[in-house]
Amino acid sequence: MRLGLARSQDIEAFRSVSRSHVGRVRQVNEDRVLDRPDRGLWAVADGMGGHRGGDIAAELAIAALRGVADADSPVRGEAILAALESANGQILARSEAAGGVIGSTIVALHVAEGEAQIFWAGDSRAYRARDGRWEQATRDHSLVQQLVDEGLIDREQARRHPQAHVITRALGVEGKVEVERVSFAVEPGDVLLLCSDGLSRSLGGNGTGADEQAAERLLTEALEKDGSDNITFVLVGIG
C-alpha cells in the first residue's frame, strides 16, 4: 500500500525503541539496526551469506547510514542514497573477497518537517500505524511479490510459498543497486515500524505504541509465532 503524499505540519518530536534478537534457531544474528531519533534517522539491515559474512554486510550498510547521522550537515535524502550506494560497493568487494555472495536488505526511514521518507531494497519492510492498524508502506523486492503482482498466486499462498525467502534486490549483489523511495505525511500519534522479515512474517494487524512495553510485546509475539529467523525492528513514535 502506498501512503498519501500530502505534507502535514512540521513535527520534530520523536520517540523510538529498537530490538534485535537472534531468534530460536539460528546461531548468528545477521541483522543490524540504526536508532537515531536525534537525527530523525532509523534503519534495519538483514544480512545474507551465513558464515561468509552476512552479518558484515548488514553492518556495512548500517555503518554507511551511521556516517550520515554523524555528519555535521543536515540529513538529506540524497545523502542517504549516496551512503547506500557506497555500502553496495563495499559489500560487493567483500563478497568477491569471500568467494561467494553476501549481501544485505535495507530499509531506512528519515522524518523531518512532517514528512517521512523511506528507502529500501529487498524484503525488510516499513509500516505505519494510524488509528491502531498497521499499513504496509513498502513493497517487497522478492520472487513471491512478483508472482502476486502477476496474479499467479494470492497473498496467503505467498506466505507459505517454498521460495518466500528469495529476494530480487539487495545491497552488495550487483554493481549498481536500485533503492526504492517513497514519501508520505506523518501526524502526531502515528507509529512507524521498520523490520526484518523475521518480524514481518508474524506481525499482526493491530498497531502498537513506541515504547519499551510495545517492543517487548512485539518481540515476544514474534518468538512465539515463529522465531526461525533473526528478529530486528525499530518502532518510531511521532509527536
pLDDT of residue 208: 76
As a dihedral over the C-alpha atoms of residue 225, residue 233, residue 62, residue 93, rounded to 10 degrees, the angle is 20
For the chain, domain boundaries: 14-238
pTM: 0.90
- Residue range 216-221: average pLDDT? 94
Residue 161 has pLDDT above 70, yes or no: no
Residues 6 or more apart whose CB falls under 8 angstroms from that of 205 comprise 133, 134
Angle at 102 between CA 100 and CA 107, to 5 degrees: 165
Percent of the chain scored above 90 by pLDDT? 71
Q: What CATH number does the domain located at 14-238 have?
A: 3.60.40.10
First to last CA, the chain: 23
Residue 126 · residue 120 · CB < 8 Å: yes
Banded pLDDT at 97 (limits 50, 70, 90): confident
Reported as a single tens digit per residue, the pLDDT across 182-212 is 999 999 999 999 999 999 988 987 777 899 9
- Mean pLDDT of the chain, nearest integer: 88
Q: Which of 32-41, 70-79, 122-131, 138-147 has the lowest mean pLDDT?
A: 138-147
Q: Which of 31-40, 94-103, 166-175, 214-223 has the lowest mean pLDDT?
A: 94-103
